[in-house]
Copies of this chain bind each other. A is one copy, B any other.
């Protein structure tokens, strides 16, 4: 009889609507491989919590009924962290982690996260190789920003895109009710990549409909040109809706939000961007004297479970489950990636593995040729790309009119 090992799973980085669906996929696949896998350990607050000894035995502590709820529960059930492993493999943290892996008989580790988490997967598998450890480490992608390279797209993005597209469509109707001129500026997430903001194009109900201007961080933002375009649009229609990415920059590389003096740094040293919508609201008010408001869709973009894309949920489960299969096959230091295959029935994806070293610390932005030449709209190529990813509606379990989630009390 083959020896059985344990598997560990952790979640890291910013939460998404479907990161728990990937966790569900990992658990389900582990259960399906009971002949090879014994316990499923859940790292509480990612690798950082694991270092502090925070770990649970999922199948013992979480009921099957609760595990089913994970598919439609937003945010990270296991908790998350923003922790970067040191560059030096001599650092004692590496031997500590592997000592814990050994003590808990963990042979497989699945880390669900974004760019920085793939860096963790890469470093740990590098250390495993250097020390002849048999532990296999696989990354499962997760990011609403869709900025991971070497994959067609990442779980989390489809739901963010669907949320943005439907919500902007709702806001457009809301803005149209009065017979007076007004400008609405909708600020959307996406630090350096405009994928989420680009999805607002789907809100249009017909050609020429709002949002009439869409600004991504991939293109230099020119405030004067922006004001001029809004002025022209206001002549054509009562209500002008503009979608802007939080990360738009001018030609000097200054984030527009920095002009409002509201920028800070997160624990990775990334600039924390909020407020470009508010800043542009004030600019339009001053320059054009029209009624103007700004709306931030904020954290709802990453946690509105009721508006999740069913395609995204199913693909997140698939990625988690494929991660376990890859581990069992002996893969390590890899990220699960999606390859898009078109067949006669249309869109479908296949999973494969890519080296984490090629993925981490890189960023996939919207191709310039998918953005209109003047940088104020996105092209059909983007629509063709994003449309399959928002198909299907999530079905939360409801009780007393409220969604039922799987959660740890904290």
How far, in whole Å, are A296 and B176 apart by their CA atoms in the complex?
A: 21
Q: Which stretch in A121-129, A305-313, A318-326, A371-379 binds the other chain?
A: A305-313
- Evaluate whether A177 and B295 lie within 8 angstroms (CB atoms) in the complex, with A237-B410, A401-B390 already known: no
A299 within 8 A of B: yes
- Is A80's CB under 8 angstroms from B202's CB? no
- Is B405's CB under 8 angstroms from A169's CB? yes
Q: Which of A297, A300, A305, A401 has the most CB of B within 10 A?
A: A401
A:227-243 near B, CB below 8 Å = 237-239
- Is A202's CB under 8 angstroms from B391's CB? no
Who on chain B is nearest to A306 by CB?
Answer: B307
Who on chain B is nearest to A388 by CB?
Answer: B401
A:147-201 near B, CB below 8 Å = 162, 165-167, 169-171, 173-174, 176-179
The interface residues of chain B lying within 8 Å CB-to-CB of A304 are: 167, 170
A400 within 8 A of B: yes
- Evaluate whether A166 and B306 lie within 8 angstroms (CB atoms) in the complex, with A174-B74, A202-B402, A299-B174 already known: yes
A268 within 8 A of B: no
- Is A392's CB under 8 angstroms from B401's CB? yes
A15 within 8 A of B: yes
How far, in whole Å, are A143 and B82 apart by their CA atoms in the complex?
A: 43
A:365-392 near B, CB below 8 Å = 387, 390-392
What does the 1/0 interface line of A41-71 toward B look like (CB < 8 Å)?
0001100110000000000000000000000
Who on chain B is nearest to A390 by CB?
Answer: B401
A12 to chain B, nearest CB (A): 10
The interface residues of chain B lying within 8 Å CB-to-CB of A398 are: 393
Q: Which of A73, A206, A390, A410 has the most CB of B within 10 A?
A: A410
Who on chain B is nearest to A305 by CB?
Answer: B170
A333 within 8 A of B: no
A352 to chain B, nearest CB (A): 26
A39 within 8 A of B: no
A328 within 8 A of B: no
Who on chain B is nearest to A17 by CB?
Answer: B170
How far, in whole Å, are A178 and B13 apart by their CA atoms in the complex?
A: 9
Q: Which A residues fall within an 8 A CB radius of B?
A: 11, 15, 44-45, 48-49, 73-76, 79-82, 162, 165-167, 169-171, 173-174, 176-179, 202-203, 205-206, 209, 237-239, 295-300, 302-307, 309, 387, 390-393, 398, 400-403, 405, 407, 409-410
Q: List 22 A-B contacts (CB under 8 A).
A: A15-B173, A45-B178, A74-B173, A75-B170, A75-B173, A75-B177, A80-B177, A80-B178, A81-B178, A162-B401, A169-B402, A169-B403, A171-B299, A176-B407, A202-B402, A205-B405, A295-B299, A297-B300, A306-B306, A387-B401, A390-B401, A391-B401
The 5 tightest CB contacts between A and B, nearest first, are A75-B173, A390-B401, A80-B177, A174-B303, A45-B179
